[in-house]
Amino acid sequence: MLEPRGELVLRTLAMPADTNPNGDIFGGWLLSQMDIAGGIAAKQRSHSRISTVAIESMSFHQPVNVGDVICCYAEIMHVGTTSMRIKLEVWITNMPFNQQRIKVTEGIFTFVAIDEDGRPQSVDRDE
């Protein structure tokens, strides 16, 4: 059975306010949760302020419904001089009805460590 890749960094509940006109959860809301999850992982890795600089290859595999518990997993794929490329996966569970986890969304986000003035600053590659 397929398993999530990376560390669980964020878990939250899809609410009625997050729906689109079809009644499913907005893709933009999911992307926002992934950005927050990636931001947490990047901050943990760099110990500094961070900023999202790029989002690539977002895929939405399955609709998400109100009441689904969404779990964001982060895996740091590459640490550059100031940037971190992070793979994010969102899996849902619909407890207590269904204990099975389903991957609904994935994407690759790049974050940059920044200083107090918002300028890129180096990340320790050896950590």
Ligand X SMILES: CCCCCCCCCCCCCCCC(=O)SCCNC(=O)CCNC(=O)[C@H](O)C(C)(C)COP(=O)(O)OP(=O)(O)OC[C@H]1O[C@@H](n2cnc3c(N)ncnc32)[C@H](O)[C@@H]1OP(=O)(O)O
**Rounded least distance, CB 68 to ligand X, Å:** 22
Whole-number Å distance between alpha carbons of 40 and 63: 25
The correct pick among 11, 115, 118, 124 for binding ligand X (CB under 6 A) is: 118
Cα–Cα distance list, 65 to 9, 77, 92, 105 (Å)? 21, 30, 9, 13
Site string for ligand X, 81-100 (x = CB under 6 A): xxx-----------------
Give 39's contacts (C-beta < 8 A, 6+ positions apart).
50, 52, 111
* Four-CA torsion 33, 37, 40, 46, nearest 10 degrees: -120
Cβ closer to ligand X: 36 or 69? 36
Cβ closer to ligand X: 33 or 104? 33
For ligand X, the binding residues (CB under 6 A) are 35-36, 39-40, 43-44, 51-54, 80-83, 110, 112, 114, 118, 120
